[in-house]
């Protein structure tokens, strides 16, 4: 009986244990998946979104710096240079934030980010060096422009002074009758006029080169120097007087100065253009890196969000299916446990019914024997031995009834 009770208890505990294990397993699996979704969401919130912000702001700062540097080169405005340097400093601050972000997110795969930040840092350093070279060359070029303008103005002034001097001499000779000297003055005036034409062409090409930002025009303009020099040498072969000769020598000296200043301008311009082209190339590389990493951060954020949404959908479906499976297993176990409990109960009821029938039969037999004994006692006293035997039989029946009653009680207790 104890074995039966123990077996029934084990079945009940086993059924509930299976349900509990399935429920705990499903709950742990869902919890782990939720932790993964949470980690993905944290990665989006704390890494990929800030990464996009860092490179977007870095890109914006650098674009502003490039714009101000170009304005500085075009206008030579010191405020534009200050604004350009200020935006470069701002870009460096965003770069430091990128390094800080990479160091904070060491649990993620940030090797690509760190490598990109190093490349951007090196490119930014090269850009600053190129910008410094371009600024120095630009300042040198501006100085050359100023010197060129001064030399050009002096050149034109001297030529005009020569023309005035020749004009005065012409007026004096006109009052006289010396036609040969008049012819010489007219020839010198023609030479100076040609010199002025060449000088005007030289200044025009120089100005046009500045407007079109084409240093090749300076090379073309420099060809006029030899023509001007030849004209001045021709004028110096037979100057009208010492005053004109001295002025022609001054013009020749100014022409040489003008040529040297133009060479400085052309050289500094080529250096500035080379540095500017280098700036543009480095700037484009920085912008490309910034843009690609900003887009990469956004892509990773979208991918993580999409993966999180898919995981949540899977968890939702898994929860529904898991609940259904657990419910089905519970119903099956309940049916099995019900059958395990009902079989012993039915068996016990059947045994009790059979024992009750035996007790009723024994009681009837006892009643009949009692009546028989009463009749026999009054009629046949001599049959005591038979009565004694009947009493023994009755005693045996009573013991049997007692055993049956004890068995019935045991069955009732088992139920």
- Give residue limits of the domains in the chain: 28-317
pLDDT tens profile 124-173: 777 778 777 777 776 776 666 666 667 666 666 776 676 667 666 666 66
CA angle 243, 252, 180 (to 5 degrees): 45
228 or 137: whose pLDDT is higher? Answer: 228
Q: How many CA atoms lie within 13 A of 249 on its CB side?
A: 9
What is the CB neighbour count within 10 angstroms for residue 283?
20
Task: Give the Cα separation of 108 and 103 in Å (integer).
Answer: 10
Mean pLDDT, rounded, for 312-318:
68
220 or 336: whose pLDDT is higher? Answer: 220
Tokens representing 255 are: 């022409």
- Determine if residue 149 is left, alpha or beta; phi over 0 gives left, psi from -120 to 50 gives alpha, anything else beta: alpha
Residue 55 reports pLDDT greater than 50: yes
Mean pLDDT across the chain, nearest whole number? 68
Mean pLDDT, rounded, for 13-24:
64
Task: Give the Cα separation of 72 and 272 in Å (integer).
Answer: 12
pTM exceeds 0.85: no
Q: Token pair 């509930």 is at which residue? A: 16
26 close to 265: Cβ distance less than 8 angstroms: no
pLDDT tens profile 76-130: 677 877 888 888 888 788 778 777 777 766 544 555 667 777 777 787 777 778 7
Mean pLDDT, rounded, for 317-333:
68
The CATH code for residues 28-317 is 1.20.58.920
Which pLDDT value is given to residue 253?
84
In percent, how much of the chain has pLDDT > 90? 0
Residue 295 reports pLDDT greater than 70: no
């Amino acid at each position: 009986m104890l074995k039966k009770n123990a077996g029934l208890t084990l079945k009940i505990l086993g059924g509930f244990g299976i349900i509990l294990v399935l429920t705990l397993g499903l709950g742990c699996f869902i919890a782990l998946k939720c932790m993964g979704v949470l980690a993905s969401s944290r990665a989006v919130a704390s890494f990929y979104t800030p990464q996009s912000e860092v490179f977007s702001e870095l890109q914006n700062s650098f674009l502003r710096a490039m714009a101000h540097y170009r304005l500085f080169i075009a206008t030579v405005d010191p405020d534009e240079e200050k604004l350009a340097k200020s935006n470069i400093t701002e870009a460096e601050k965003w770069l430091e934030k990128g390094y800080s972000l990479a160091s904070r997110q060491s649990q993620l795969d940030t090797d690509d980010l760190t490598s990109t930040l190093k490349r951007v840092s090196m490119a930014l350093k090269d850009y600053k060096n190129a910008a410094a070279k371009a600024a120095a060359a630009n300042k040198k070029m501006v100085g050359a422009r100023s010197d060129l303008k001064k030399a050009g103005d002096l050149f034109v002034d001297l030529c005009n002074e020569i023309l005035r001097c020749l004009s005065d001499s012409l007026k004096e000779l006109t009052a006289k009758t010396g036609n040969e000297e008049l012819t010489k003055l007219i020839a010198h005036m023609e030479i100076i006029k040609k010199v002025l034409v060449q000088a005007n062409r030289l200044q025009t090409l120089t100005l046009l080169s500045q407007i079109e930002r084409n240093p090749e025009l300076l090379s073309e303009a420099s060809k006029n120097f030899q023509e001007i020099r030849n004209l001045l040498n021709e004028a110096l072969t037979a100057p009208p007087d010492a005053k004109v000769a001295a002025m022609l020598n001054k013009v020749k000296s100014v022409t040489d100065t003008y040529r040297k200043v133009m060479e400085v301008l052309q050289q500094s311009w080529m250096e500035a253009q080379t540095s500017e082209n280098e700036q543009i190339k480095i700037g484009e590389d920085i912008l490309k890196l910034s843009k690609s990493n900003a887009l990469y951060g956004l892509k990773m954020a979208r991918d993580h969000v999409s993966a999180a949404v898919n995981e949540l959908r899977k968890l939702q479906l898994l929860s529904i299916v898991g609940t259904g499976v657990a419910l089905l297993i519970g119903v099956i176990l309940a049916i099995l446990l019900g059958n395990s409990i009902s079989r012993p109960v039915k068996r016990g009821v059947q045994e009790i019914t059979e024992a009750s029938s035996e007790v009723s039969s024994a009681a009837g037999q006892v009643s009949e024997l009692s009546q028989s004994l009463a009749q026999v006692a009054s009629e046949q006293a001599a049959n005591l031995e038979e009565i004694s035997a009947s009493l023994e039989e009755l005693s045996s029946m009573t013991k049997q009834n007692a055993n049956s009653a004890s068995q019935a009680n045991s069955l009732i207790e088992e139920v």
